[in-house]
């Protein structure tokens, strides 16, 4: 099981939440954190995770999760409701870069993702989630590449694929319906012809009897 699957199972599933995406990060500017604040556990890996509750009305949140060196388990550290996110800064709209900033109502963090592609995928999921679950006070996305905001988004491509499949299925059902309709009409015509033939045969039989 990879790290993101383990985080989903350990951190979110027990609280009836579904993890939508995650990105492994490091701080661009190192904060001075007292040794005791980390529980004396030394180095750690950090993940920024996006999740949504299964219970309606669904609520989305962003959670900072850590895995300390030598441990196989994950620890939830800080969590923000998606409504608290004010700005997402992609740093450079002209090239793929792993750097990004997240501005919340009461916090500001500067991050570097493990790879630029991982950041891009997370941003696409984050943007889509904001559009879906926030009715107002949507965060501002600045300095982001067009593929993150739409265009070549993998989410849009997936949606297009689903739409295309539905349209094809609908067309196939319509064509099938038309064929069934024509078959029913033909059956009715044959039934009428058979009935007319039977009536004619009966009349002829009665005429010959007379």
Structure confidence at residue 62 (pLDDT): 98
**3-29+41-150 in CATH: which number?**
2.30.29.90
Beta bridge partners of 89: 101, 142
Nearest alpha-carbon partner for 146 in 205, 67, 207, 93: 93
| Complete DSSP assignment for 148-167 | HHSTT-HHHHHHHHHHHHHH
Q: How far apart are CA 101 and CA 103, in angstroms?
A: 7
In the numeric block, which tokens belong to residue 50?
A: 């996006």
Size (the chain), residues: 210
Residues 6+ apart with CB under 8 A from 147: 120, 124, 153
Spatial contact of 50 and 14, defined as CB atoms under 8 Å apart: no
Q: In which residue are the tokens 């590449």 written? A: 145
58 secondary structure, DSSP code:
P
Q: How far apart are CA 53 and CA 61, in angstroms?
A: 9
**Residue 120: phi, psi to the nearest 5?**
-60, -45
Question: Given its phi and psi angles, is residue 102 left (phi above 0), alpha (psi -120 to 50 degrees) or beta?
Answer: beta
Spatial contact of 102 and 79, defined as CB atoms under 8 Å apart: no
The residue ranges of every structural domain in the chain are: 3-29+41-150
Give me the chain's average pLDDT, please: 84
Pairing status of strand 75-81 against strand 60-68: antiparallel
List pLDDT tens digits, range 25-51.
Answer: 999 976 555 544 545 557 999 999 999
Residues of the chain with pLDDT under 70: 30-41, 150-170, 172-174, 176-178, 180-181, 194, 197-198, 200-210
Please, how many CA atoms are within 13 Å of residue 117, restricted to the half-sphere of its CB? 1
Spatial contact of 152 and 160, defined as CB atoms under 8 Å apart: no
Spatial contact of 70 and 43, defined as CB atoms under 8 Å apart: no
Is-above-0.85 flag for pTM?
Answer: no
Would you call 51 helix, strand, or coil by DSSP?
strand
């Amino acid at each position: 099981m990879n790290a993101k699957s383990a985080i989903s199972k350990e951190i979110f599933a027990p609280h009836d939440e579904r993890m939508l995406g995650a990105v492994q990060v490091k701080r661009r500017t190192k904060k001075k954190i007292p040794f005791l604040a980390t529980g004396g556990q030394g180095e750690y890996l950090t993940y920024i995770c996006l999740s949504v509750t299964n219970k309606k009305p669904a609520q989305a949140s962003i959670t900072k999760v850590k895995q300390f060196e030598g441990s196989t388990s994950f620890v939830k550290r800080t969590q923000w409701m998606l409504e608290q996110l004010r700005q997402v800064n992609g740093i450079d709209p002209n090239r793929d870069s792993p750097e990004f900033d997240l501005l919340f109502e009461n916090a500001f963090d500067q991050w570097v993702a493990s790879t630029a592609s991982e950041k891009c995928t997370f941003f696409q999921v984050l943007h889509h989630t904001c559009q879906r679950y926030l009715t107002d006070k949507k965060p501002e996305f600045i300095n982001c590449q067009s593929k993150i905001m739409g265009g070549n988004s993998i989410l849009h491509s997936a949606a297009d694929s689903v739409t295309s499949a539905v349209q094809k299925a609908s067309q196939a059902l319509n064509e099938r319906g038309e064929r069934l309709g024509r078959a029913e009409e033909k059956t009715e015509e044959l039934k009428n012809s058979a009935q007319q033939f039977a009536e004619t045969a009966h009349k002829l039989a009665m005429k010959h009897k007379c």
